[in-house]
Structure 1
Amino acid sequence: MGDLYLAISSIDEDRIVAPLETAICVLTHQYLDSPTNVKIHLVVQEDESRQSHVSFKKSGMVFDLLRDIPPPASYCLTPVFNLEDGISCVAGLCSVLRQIIKHADEQWKHLLGFREACLVACAEVSMWTKFCEVDIVAAAKEVIADWPANRTSLPLQLARLEAHLSQPIRVHNVGKFKDQSHKYAEGPLFLVTDLILAVPVYVIMEKLQLWTEGKIALTAKWALVILDEHGFRSHVAQLEFERCELHRSWDLPAVVRSSLYKRDPTRYKPRHKIFTQQSDIESSMEIVSGVVAVEYEDPFGCHVELPPDIPLPDVPDKRLDRKIQQLSNLAKSTLKVSKANDLIVDFCSGSGHLGFIIAHALPSCSVVLLDNKEKSLDRARERREELGLNNVYIVQANLDYFVGKFQVGVSLHACGVASDLVIQKCLQSKASLVVCPCCYGGIQTNHVIQYPQSPEYKECGLTERGYIVLGHCADQAGTEQGERGMKLVDTDRCLLAKSQGYCVSLAKLIPHSCTTRNNLIVAVI
């Protein structure tokens, strides 16, 4: 039995008003013949964006109303799915729908696709998952809430879907399919992606009366297949929202004619890549030369003694010693900053090597293993049972879906931007942090972090492009210039924490040779 927690804004005798994500989950659950081993819990939550909500029929639904969500689901934004083990949860629309299908009758497993890999990649790394989970849903919400009467342009995300459907399919063994056009969203097979997309697309098409709009003929054709051939119309027809009264002439936004698949060679544009020259590195280093760099200290908590029987990491023998050295450094720092009953989050935890050591050493604390990779956390569940650690929760979610209150955040070798997202999450929660960054060259422009981050680096005139150059320089592992690049990037991170009232330590892991990515940032509020 799994527990599905969904947010609503109101409920009466006949109808429920809720965010679109809740409606997608409910309608999909009903389409799958309402599997009895998925228990639905509705939670009334205040939401400033209620004008973008939809209503749907309450009749036929089996659910209960809750005031509070239990952990670990309470640590995440809804929709969220607590697994039957009571210590694991899954957050994020696509991952939650995958769980609903896994708990449904065997006849629906085909919706997960080849090797059950449909939408298994998280929205942080997959353009396709992000489109299904975030982009098209946000577009539908915008249309519901306020689509100006004088607006003549169709939603951008509808244009992206139309372009996607116009491209050849990209599937396993594509050569065996004579027709390589998109009958369905991912090609020749009806999958969970079709159900997810059908709801926001239906909302947009109905609201703006677009079913006969020639500029999105492929989208309309696809939607009608899902609604009529696969019987989804009776479910989406429950949705109530205001429709536009008049037809109008629409413009289709210009978009790149490529698919939305995670790997599409037509999107590879070498000329758009940043290629770093030595002169670029020297220029960036000169710009920040006036900023006093944070100097290395002994690792914070290096004199703390770990228990002699710490859980050994599950890695090949040739990596074991170096991995233990890495983990021990971060575990000692974590023990130093933690107090009894703290909630400690191991961000980007993988299968939990660091988190399990901390949980073993601090039995009075609770530890959350947070990662977005399903397979890694499957292994973490196995190891938790093997180790008999009852103070560990396991959360499959993107970083931005985690909203729990915690006291300490830790991370070992979160790649590129992920290290900065971890630091940001800790600073926002006023939590202490223990972070060993990785993949400095993976730092790139994104919609969450603006580089540089610290007041000092901004004031000296370093641009985002110049900062990314420092990241590329830092990836020259084992060289003097690479070491300097690492120190400069991590100085920016340390100064950011200092500007928010933290006491900060920058150190090298002991021994330095345990990894080339051996900087350790500890910040205590």
Structure 2
Amino acid sequence: MKGIKKNLTEEYLYLDFSHQIEGCIFPLHTSVTLFLLSYCDCKIFKVCLVLTGENADTSLLKNVLSQHVEIQIISRQELPLIVQNCCLPAVVESPDSFCRAGLAVVLRHIVQRAYDAEPSKKGILELLGFKKTCLKACAEVSQWTRLCELTIPLSIENFLKESCDQHPAIPTEILKLEKKLSEPVRVHNDDKLRRQKLKQQKAAGVGPTLAQEKLKSQAHIQETSEDQDPSSQSLELQVAFSKLTVQEHPAALNREPAHIRRAGACALPPLEHVFAEGLYFTLADLVLLPCVHHFLVVICKKLSERLVEFPLLAAWYQRVQEVPGVKTAASRCGIQFLHLPELPTTSSEQHPKFSEAAGAEEHSDPSFIGGPRPTMTKLMEKGIEVMFSPHPCPAWTLDWNRLPAAVSPKEDKMNRTFIFRQRTSTQHKTSERPTQPYVRRWRGWSATPKEVEQGKMSSDRALRKQQQLNNLVYVVTHQARPGDRIVDFCSGGGHVGIVLAHMLPSCQVTLIENKELSLIRAKKRSDELGLSNIWFIQANMEYFTGMFNIGVALHACGVATDMVIEHCIKTRASFVTCPCCYGFVQNTSKFSFPKSEQFKKTLSYKEHMILCRFADQTAVQLPPQRRLIGKQCMCLVDLDRARAAEERGYSVQVISMEPESCSPKNNMIVGVPI
């Protein structure tokens, strides 16, 4: 086929299969993934359904599986070893050392690969949204990703199971989605669009709301955009139509009237949802559509009187069907869309204004009163003081000069030559404009601009990174035993994991990282070294389910450190972590602070946040006294983490790295199960 790239790496896509109810494949993650494959018309993956039970009935699968995708059914024992350590769905590249796991990561990869295979289909890449960030943030930090990736599929699965025997309760997550669709849309150019909407409303009076227009539109989206007068559509629909029909939204040729330009932000009308994330059709819509469809099927059959509670969800459901390619993909997957009645909707005037919403958020945020000294004094009165354990071997260092170049974060070649263009005459305030580049020798960096782009670093930073690695590698290598499995969480470019894999050839090292490019760089370095005892997994750490002996994390940001420690405790593994970004520590669905009983009895959440806030003030540019207070706050936050682990059967030490100048965030938390 014209435009298809050749020699694409062969990849296997593994999906769970437990059972099937009324045309729906369980788990819903599998239904969603198959639906995306059909929508993208992607045939480059070898798809394997993995039976989760011995008695799984596969006789009816042919009725709901896309005929254009070849699917093989296997048992879990037939999975590659790396996949057996992950939650499905998962994608593995041959030779089974690089795995992508988790719904959001896998779906984003499918979209990218489908586009790479056929670049002429630019609409496929648009599914990743503005700056390709749709569902990119991990579920631990993004409520939206968590809603789409985890809570809605799981809650609707439970809803469908309960509906077989009784009248089920409406999932809370569906109510959250309905509320989400009622909130004003925020996009990168919303001020401009809202002014255009205000002008439209002023010209025609207050017209019908977007939700009412959605229900009136029953034709295909392309037919609608051709036959309907654009001036009669709401601004949101015009923008959405122009995007889906690969046409630019017509820009205003004339300057906006004065009363439109002078209108304040509070006077501008909010933008309303066309699709799940706002004005544009994205991957999130394709994730939610199969889930919402099966939910609405049950509602229409057994709880039809409650359909009126979801007018925005129903309008969105109808709108998504009109997107080109959606009905075709649905028919391939055995999905027969419902035709819902017109439902009454709330008017746009009932949406909260941006200023009111922002004010409410600011009012709800805790206000920090006072500094860290009263909090530290309060802890001292309860016998809790800043205290570090002695470093086991402060002078120990790897012989970096004898290690292969790919092991070290530092480049061998120094004093590279850089070519810079001189600043323009306006920048130098001179009348002369340079016409030729000039050459300057830059002695502070050890890499060319291309190498910097590839993740290599300056010589000073590389030296500090080596010093950080000396601390972690010493502790891990003295704990590890032959045959141990070591996991480098939040591995980034693999600075820790690659050194450990090289130093401990009898151990299996696994790198887990959510950022694809970082992991690809690590894989390239590993290939240069010829390492055979290393795995690479692109996933959120909660999708890694394998057993291991030691967990390590260098500068895991915010609550990621707490997630690493929790993962290790559940597996009864030792942990060696170096926390970072204390200011990002906050209560989540999994963690509440303070963590230990000792700190909970002394500090409130607000007081703990004061410690976290000041723990980030350790940068070298700050005055020495402030850095000292920051270091003390770091220690107290980490002591709380250590005490919490001790309460669960661990021996834990908080150690300061040597030399302390290796990083502003230079604490290590070392825990060993008792």
Fold similarity call, TM over 0.5:
yes
Q: Is the 8 A contact 1:202 1:236 kept in 2?
A: no
Seen in structure 2, the aligned counterparts of structure 1 residues 363 and 280 have a Cα distance that, compared at 3 Å, is: closer
Indicate the residue corresponding to 1:66 in structure 2: 75
Decide which of 462, 472, 490 is 1:330's aligned counterpart: 472
Distance (Å, rounded) in 1 between the aligned partners of 2:345 and 2:130: 37
| Structure 1 residue 457, shift from structure 2 partner | 2.7
Normalising by structure 2, we get a TM-score of: 0.67
Q: Alpha-carbon deviations, 1:139-181, whole Å to 9, x = none?
A: 3224223369677x85443343334334554445565894354
Indicate the residue corresponding to 2:277 in structure 1: 186
Distance (Å, rounded) in 2 between the aligned partners of 1:369 and 1:95: 16
Distance (Å, rounded) in 2 between the aligned partners of 1:21 and 1:267: 38
Seen in structure 2, the aligned counterparts of structure 1 residues 79 and 324 have a Cα distance that, compared at 3 Å, is: same
Matches within 5 A, 1:132-151: 132-146=148-162
> Identity of counterpart residues, as a percentage?
33
| Structure 1 residue 268, shift from structure 2 partner | 7.7
Q: Secondary structure at the match of 2:664?
A: coil
2:36 aligned partner, one-letter code: T
Distance (Å, rounded) in 1 between the aligned partners of 2:599 and 2:306: 54
Seen in structure 2, the aligned counterparts of structure 1 residues 351 and 183 have a Cα distance that, compared at 3 Å, is: same
2:161 aligned partner, one-letter code: A
Matches within 5 A, 1:495-514: 495-514=643-662
Q: Confirm whether residue 377 of structure 1 aligns to residue 386 of structure 2.
A: no
Q: Secondary structure at the match of 2:310?
A: helix
Indicate the residue corresponding to 1:276 in structure 2: 368
Seen in structure 2, the aligned counterparts of structure 1 residues 100 and 211 have a Cα distance that, compared at 3 Å, is: farther
Seen in structure 2, the aligned counterparts of structure 1 residues 267 and 416 have a Cα distance that, compared at 3 Å, is: farther
Decide which of 81, 89, 95 is 2:99's aligned counterpart: 89
Q: Is the 8 A contact 2:372 2:614 kept in 1?
A: no
Q: Confirm whether residue 38 of structure 1 aligns to residue 45 of structure 2.
A: yes
Distance (Å, rounded) in 1 between the aligned partners of 2:381 and 2:81: 47
Q: Is the 8 A contact 1:498 1:504 kept in 2?
A: yes
Indicate the residue corresponding to 2:201 in structure 1: none
2:293 aligned partner, one-letter code: Y
Seen in structure 2, the aligned counterparts of structure 1 residues 362 and 268 have a Cα distance that, compared at 3 Å, is: farther
Q: Is the 8 A contact 2:308 2:344 kept in 1?
A: no
| Structure 1 residue 251, shift from structure 2 partner | 13
RMSD across aligned C-alpha pairs, in angstroms? 3.7
Normalising by structure 1, we get a TM-score of: 0.84
Indicate the residue corresponding to 1:474 in structure 2: 615
Matches within 5 A, 1:2-41: 2-10=11-19, 18-33=26-41, 35-41=42-48
Seen in structure 2, the aligned counterparts of structure 1 residues 288 and 238 have a Cα distance that, compared at 3 Å, is: farther
Indicate the residue corresponding to 1:128 in structure 2: 144
Q: Confirm whether residue 99 of structure 1 aligns to residue 115 of structure 2.
A: no
Q: Is the 8 A contact 2:34 2:333 kept in 1?
A: no
Q: Secondary structure at the match of 1:369?
A: strand
Q: Is the 8 A contact 1:288 1:457 kept in 2?
A: no
Q: Which runs of 4+ in 1 moved over 6 A?
A: 147-151, 249-252
1:97 aligned partner, one-letter code: L
Seen in structure 2, the aligned counterparts of structure 1 residues 55 and 456 have a Cα distance that, compared at 3 Å, is: farther
Indicate the residue corresponding to 1:299 in structure 2: 391
Q: Confirm whether residue 448 of structure 1 aligns to residue 458 of structure 2.
A: no
- The alignment of Structure 1 onto Structure 2 pairs a total of residues equal to 503
1:467 aligned partner, one-letter code: H
Indicate the residue corresponding to 1:415 in structure 2: 557
Q: Which runs of 5+ in 1 are unaligned?
A: none
Indicate the residue corresponding to 1:312 in structure 2: 408
Indicate the residue corresponding to 1:430 in structure 2: 572
Distance (Å, rounded) in 1 between the aligned partners of 2:666 and 2:149: 35
Q: Which runs of 5+ in 2 are unaligned?
A: 1-9, 197-234, 240-271, 410-455, 619-625
> Which one has a bigger Cα radius of gyration?
2
1:90 aligned partner, one-letter code: R
Q: Secondary structure at the match of 1:103?
A: helix
Indicate the residue corresponding to 1:223 in structure 2: 317
Seen in structure 2, the aligned counterparts of structure 1 residues 316 and 63 have a Cα distance that, compared at 3 Å, is: same
Q: Secondary structure at the match of 2:560?
A: helix
Q: Secondary structure at the match of 1:489?
A: helix
Q: Is the 8 A contact 2:184 2:351 kept in 1?
A: no
